[in-house]
């Protein structure tokens, strides 16, 4: 809901909804610190512009040894959302990291071109050449 309200230009309502969501996601992690809860907390921390907590989870989840394309897509989403809310000097680096995570998602088996193309969290990447290359690569996958 918060993402929709943000896309509709309702920033104040989106911010309020995101903060409520962040509190609930933190409570879930506190109760059960599993990977899914960590991913959801990572995403909402990024959407709320909480750089350090989001970064910590992005890095921790990225260091897991198992190949997991879905997890890498979630990291790309979080990095992209951080780029939107980061200081100007940090944006280009975060975009590069998001694109690298997206490429890693594909290399680790992620194959849903429609989701990548339509994911609102990835909207800031759509004009990047590397994003187009990822989509082209996904189009060629069975």
CATH assignment at residue 90: 1.25.40
Task: Give per-residue pLDDT as tens, 16-58.
Answer: 898 899 999 999 999 999 999 999 999 999 999 999 999 999 9
Count the domains in the chain: 1
> Could you tell me the residue range of the domain that residue 21 belongs to?
2-139
Q: What is the pTM of this model?
A: 0.91
Q: Assess whether pLDDT exceeds 90 at residue 82.
A: yes
Question: Residue 100 and residue 30: Cα distance in Å, rounded?
Answer: 30
């Amino acid at each position: 809901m918060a993402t929709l309200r943000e896309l509709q230009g309702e920033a104040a309502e989106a911010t309020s909804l995101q903060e409520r969501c962040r509190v609930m996601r933190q409570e879930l992690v506190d109760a059960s610190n599993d990977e899914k809860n960590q991913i959801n907390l990572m995403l909402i921390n990024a959407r709320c512009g909480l750089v350090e907590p989001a970064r910590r989870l992005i890095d921790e989840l990225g260091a897991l040894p198992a190949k997991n394309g879905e997890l890498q897509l979630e990291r790309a989403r979080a990095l992209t959302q951080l780029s939107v809310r980061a200081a100007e000097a940090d944006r280009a680096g975060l975009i590069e990291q998001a694109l690298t995570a997206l490429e890693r998602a594909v290399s680790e088996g992620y194959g849903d071109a429609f989701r990548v193309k339509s994911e609102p969290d990835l909207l800031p990447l759509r004009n990047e050449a590397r994003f187009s290359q990822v989509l082209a690569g996904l189009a060629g996958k069975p």
